[in-house]
Structure 1
Amino acid sequence: MRKVMLKTSLGVAVALASSQLLASGFALNEQSVSGMGTGFAGRSSSAEDASTVFGNPAGMSRLKREQFTVGGAAVIAKSDISGPGSNLGGETDGDMVPFVGVPMGYYVKPIDDHWSVGFGVYAPFGLVTDYGSDDAARYWGKKSHVEVVTFQPTISYAFNDKVSIGFGPTINRIEGELGSNLVNPLSPGQNDGEVKIKGDDTAIGYNIGILVQATDRTRIGLTYHSMVDYKLEGKTKVNYSVPPLGINLNDAKFDATLKIKTPESVDLSITHELDDQWTLYAGSTWTRWSRLEDITVNNDLPAQLAANPIGASFGTISEEQNWHDTWAHAIGASYKVNKEWVLRTGFTVDQSPTNNQDRSPRIPTGDRKIFSLGAGWSPNDDMTIDVAYSYLWEEDVKVNHVSATKGSYQAKYENSAHGIGASLTYRF
């Protein structure tokens, strides 16, 4: 069976999230604004506010007062695209990533000297790209839009003032839409058809962590975020009409299924209080992106369409991905100006899981570097307002694909992004 190749990568986000957000692949880092200020260095060892529910659930044991943290991050991404584009015509334009936002919210309540409970809503992954109907990349990935809501009830236990553990199951709701134009073989580059795939699923995972107060001024944290196994079910909608070839699919819909696993990751970090004003952070994150070998959508076709050689090609929509595991490393520092103000900065290097052969216009990313600044303002003991800014720049990457059914696409991408975030923590 001939395959219609749709370049895709299904990520997740609670709101529209971007492949240009501040983590590799389609992962998101924006689960904490206080962490964003230090480039997410020390993410599993800091436990500065209720966002530790995600960063390290064991860190809830350090929060001695009931509190909530709510906030969000916004990303303004830019892509400069150059090169010949498609041999079937179309614009080669940038800025295929719209303005996006990622909200977050957490709550933590200490029960006694040992037990704490908490709850979080956040976005661990995300993807949105939109090239438009006249772009040269329209046959290879005109639109990608995936979003997820992750809920995490959490519990932590402190054995003593040195060691604590935490655990939280994650309930993950994913919804996605993928779209591409289809080439009319009798008039390539004109009278395009279109295919759209929509699906959703709910799946369970978990986060677990340990926090160790190694010395009076040094903490070490280790967090494991589990793999999540999805089976999306939905519809594939096709508009594709080539009467001389016996194809007349106007608003045709087929039941569709897609299986995908989002990867597990391990975060190890250290927080060291140099003195009463300076705190240093460092951390490394390993992500098992090699789980993403390919994406395959299976459609349930009616018998008459399945008997047509061209119509049968809609039975399987697939693409090789062949991603590899990645490492991200970060360092950061904070300076406590006074009782009210703390300033933060950080620097991150993050590998891309893509490879030169299979890199897709949907996620045309390379290895990246991120510089971050942040500040926290506590006008009183009950409230803290955190803000952060990050600038991301990637190595230039190339996308080069040739297909018998879709022609060729060649382009160089120069990607960058500005990220801003703000959050409020209130303690009872």
Structure 2
Amino acid sequence: MNNKCLLKKTLLATTIALASQHAAAAGFQLVEHSATGLGRAFAGEGAIADNAAVGARNPAAMAMFDTAAFSAGLSYINPDVDAEVTSSAAINPGDSGKAKDIAPDAWVPNIHYIHPVNDRFAVGTSVFSNFGLSTEYPKNVGSLGGGNTELMTVNWAINGSYRINEQFSVGAGVNVLYADAEMNRYLPPSFGGNRAVKMEGDGYGYGWNLGALWEINPDHRLALTYRSSIETTLKGKGDFLAHGQTNLSAELDIEFPDLWELSGYHKVAPQWALSYSVLRTGWSSFKELKATSSQCLDNTCFQKTENWKDAWRYSVGVTHYLNNQWTLRAGVALDKSPVPSEHRTLSIPDSDRYWYSIGATYAIQNNMTVDAGFAYLNGSKKKGREVETVRGVGDVTYDFEAGGDAYIFAVQYSYWF
């Protein structure tokens, strides 16, 4: 088996480039940091400040709090994704077939706290996830490009805000990201179906974020936020059949993308408000995947050039303040894919997707609320082609069609001290 083909093309997504159709947002991004935000498709997140969860999106908005606030929530992501794979090689007849429900369900928790120091300064912290999820293909379907891949990340943010005057506030923070990943790839059944590659590892990365808030008046607000990219080195162990190596120490460098967001909130009537967001994710920084080890030829176990592009997300939401106890929400969003159609693969069959969301808040008392949100993500099936090379035999071509929908449910508890 050719090393570069097995460890450069076969590991299309390696430890982090998950089957992005199955993440909650485009690429392998997650945006589920709040059940409140889910109810309006995360429209206007940097400007609304319903509860302490805003600290995960815009540190400047913490200036709107005149008392300490706490919020914690849990999202459940239920993908419904299938794939159909056809192998063109006569030597590989058992590598074709249908793969059902290839994206496992996932639970995504979050927790936030904001503490005003005085009438100008506030500090806060948030723990949530920006990237993740997984895929699991049967071993005998698209073996070299499928397999299973899993990524889990945790982002810990420490933020501060400063109120310049009644209208303008700014904020900044630092982020610590922990990533843990595992992936496996298999030889086609005609080659015995043995595991060709196993990798697992974890690591930390560090970044920063900035935010600004313009309170035009109590009913109208605009926000601009930026979250830096984070470079992370995953260190762990791997088995590489092509190298004849097991339990090999290796490293993989990855740069998680930066984020820009413009958001707004406008109370257009006593009981109605509109919100919107434009989010740009800098996926063009995802240029290559390269695993290195002193025990691999030229210190390179594999290297794969990626061709992702920056992606945009557009969302619009409406909020109805029904009465003192109930607040209702709805929203829609368009999430553009960062993966060009000509580079779509079995592990990354990404496509544009549409969000349709609803949600509600119930005020148990003046300083205590519970939230629930639901979103349906509509993603169309897309076709693609992937070519793998087997030494002494030639190319094995996988033609495939993959995709599906996803359902997100979230609950949240918030308290003001």
Partner of 1:357, secondary structure, is helix
Q: Is 1:400 aligned with 2:385?
A: yes
Please report how far the alpha carbon of residue 248 of structure 1 lies from its aligned counterpart in structure 2 after TM superposition. 5.9
Partner of 2:330, secondary structure, is strand
Please report how far the alpha carbon of residue 182 of structure 1 lies from its aligned counterpart in structure 2 after TM superposition. 3.2
| Structure 1 equivalent of residue 328 of structure 2 | 343
Partner of 1:51, secondary structure, is helix
Partner of 1:24, secondary structure, is coil
Partner of 2:80, secondary structure, is strand
Deviations 1:332-391 (A, max 9, x none): 001011000000000000110112232222221101101000000002111110100000
Between 162-171 and 88-97, report the one with greater CA deviation.
88-97
- Any stretches of 5+ residues in structure 1 without a counterpart? 241-246, 307-311
In the aligned structure 1, how far is the partner of 2:56 from the partner of 2:360?
A: 20
Q: Structure 2 vs 1, CA of residues 50 and 191 (structure 1 numbering), >3 Å: closer, same or farther?
A: closer
Percent identity (aligned): 28
Please report how far the alpha carbon of residue 233 of structure 1 lies from its aligned counterpart in structure 2 after TM superposition. 1.6
In the aligned structure 1, how far is the partner of 2:88 from the partner of 2:79?
A: 23
| Structure 2 equivalent of residue 309 of structure 1 | none
Instruction: Please tell me whether the aligned partners of residues 14 and 183 of structure 2 are also in contact (alpha carbons under 8 angstroms).
Output: no
Partner of 2:153, secondary structure, is strand
Instruction: Please tell me whether the aligned partners of residues 73 and 422 of structure 1 are also in contact (alpha carbons under 8 angstroms).
Output: yes
Instruction: Please tell me whether the aligned partners of residues 17 and 102 of structure 1 are also in contact (alpha carbons under 8 angstroms).
Output: no
Please report how far the alpha carbon of residue 85 of structure 1 lies from its aligned counterpart in structure 2 after TM superposition. 4.7
Q: Structure 2 vs 1, CA of residues 201 and 162 (structure 1 numbering), >3 Å: closer, same or farther?
A: same
Instruction: Please tell me whether the aligned partners of residues 9 and 362 of structure 1 are also in contact (alpha carbons under 8 angstroms).
Output: no
Please report how far the alpha carbon of residue 132 of structure 1 lies from its aligned counterpart in structure 2 after TM superposition. 3.0
Q: Structure 2 vs 1, CA of residues 85 and 274 (structure 1 numbering), >3 Å: closer, same or farther?
A: farther
Instruction: Please tell me whether the aligned partners of residues 53 and 118 of structure 1 are also in contact (alpha carbons under 8 angstroms).
Output: yes
Q: Structure 2 vs 1, CA of residues 103 and 372 (structure 1 numbering), >3 Å: closer, same or farther?
A: same
Instruction: Please tell me whether the aligned partners of residues 279 and 313 of structure 2 are also in contact (alpha carbons under 8 angstroms).
Output: yes
Task: Pick from 90, 93, 99 the counterpart of residue 93 of structure 1.
Answer: 99
Please report how far the alpha carbon of residue 216 of structure 1 lies from its aligned counterpart in structure 2 after TM superposition. 3.5
Deviations 1:379-405 (A, max 9, x none): 211111010000001132112112222
| Structure 1 equivalent of residue 260 of structure 2 | 266
| Structure 1 equivalent of residue 69 of structure 2 | 67
Task: Pick from 288, 291, 294 the counterpart of residue 282 of structure 2.
Answer: 288
TM-score relative to the length of structure 2: 0.91
| Structure 1 equivalent of residue 26 of structure 2 | 24
Please report how far the alpha carbon of residue 316 of structure 1 lies from its aligned counterpart in structure 2 after TM superposition. 2.3
In the aligned structure 2, how far is the partner of 1:215 from the partner of 1:351?
A: 33
| Structure 1 equivalent of residue 199 of structure 2 | 197
In the aligned structure 2, how far is the partner of 1:9 from the partner of 1:372?
A: 32
Please report how far the alpha carbon of residue 7 of structure 1 lies from its aligned counterpart in structure 2 after TM superposition. 1.0
Task: Pick from 119, 125, 136 the counterpart of residue 130 of structure 1.
Answer: 136
Q: Structure 2 vs 1, CA of residues 21 and 401 (structure 1 numbering), >3 Å: closer, same or farther?
A: closer
Please report how far the alpha carbon of residue 314 of structure 1 lies from its aligned counterpart in structure 2 after TM superposition. 9.8
Q: Is 1:377 aligned with 2:371?
A: no
Deviations 1:26-72 (A, max 9, x none): 11110111111110110111111101111111111112221110011
Instruction: Please tell me whether the aligned partners of residues 96 and 131 of structure 1 are also in contact (alpha carbons under 8 angstroms).
Output: yes
TM-score relative to the length of structure 1: 0.89
Letter in 1 for 2:157: Q
In the aligned structure 1, how far is the partner of 2:27 from the partner of 2:207?
A: 20
Partner of 1:45, secondary structure, is helix
In the aligned structure 2, how far is the partner of 1:297 from the partner of 1:37?
A: 40
Q: Mapping of 1:14-413 within 5 angstroms?
A: 19-85=21-87, 87=89, 88=92, 89-90=94-95, 91-134=97-140, 136-183=141-188, 188-238=190-240, 252-301=246-295, 315-405=300-390, 407-413=396-402
Partner of 2:309, secondary structure, is coil
| Structure 2 equivalent of residue 243 of structure 1 | none
In the aligned structure 2, how far is the partner of 1:159 from the partner of 1:417?
A: 42
Q: Structure 2 vs 1, CA of residues 32 and 11 (structure 1 numbering), >3 Å: closer, same or farther?
A: farther
Instruction: Please tell me whether the aligned partners of residues 383 and 400 of structure 2 are also in contact (alpha carbons under 8 angstroms).
Output: yes
Instruction: Please tell me whether the aligned partners of residues 199 and 233 of structure 1 are also in contact (alpha carbons under 8 angstroms).
Output: yes
CA RMSD of aligned residues (A): 2.2
Letter in 1 for 2:130: P
Q: Structure 2 vs 1, CA of residues 399 and 320 (structure 1 numbering), >3 Å: closer, same or farther?
A: farther
Between 359-368 and 279-288, report the one with greater CA deviation.
359-368
In the aligned structure 1, how far is the partner of 2:272 from the partner of 2:55?
A: 25
Q: Structure 2 vs 1, CA of residues 17 and 395 (structure 1 numbering), >3 Å: closer, same or farther?
A: closer
Aligned pairs, number = 404
Q: Structure 2 vs 1, CA of residues 41 and 173 (structure 1 numbering), >3 Å: closer, same or farther?
A: same
Displaced runs of 4+ in structure 1, greater than 4 A?
9-12, 16-19, 312-315
Instruction: Please tell me whether the aligned partners of residues 19 and 346 of structure 2 are also in contact (alpha carbons under 8 angstroms).
Output: no
Q: Structure 2 vs 1, CA of residues 19 and 367 (structure 1 numbering), >3 Å: closer, same or farther?
A: closer
Task: Pick from 404, 407, 422 the counterpart of residue 411 of structure 2.
Answer: 422
In the aligned structure 1, how far is the partner of 2:87 from the partner of 2:376?
A: 28
Please report how far the alpha carbon of residue 19 of structure 1 lies from its aligned counterpart in structure 2 after TM superposition. 4.9
Letter in 1 for 2:415: Y
In the aligned structure 1, how far is the partner of 2:113 from the partner of 2:20?
A: 26
Between 316-325 and 50-59, report the one with greater CA deviation.
316-325
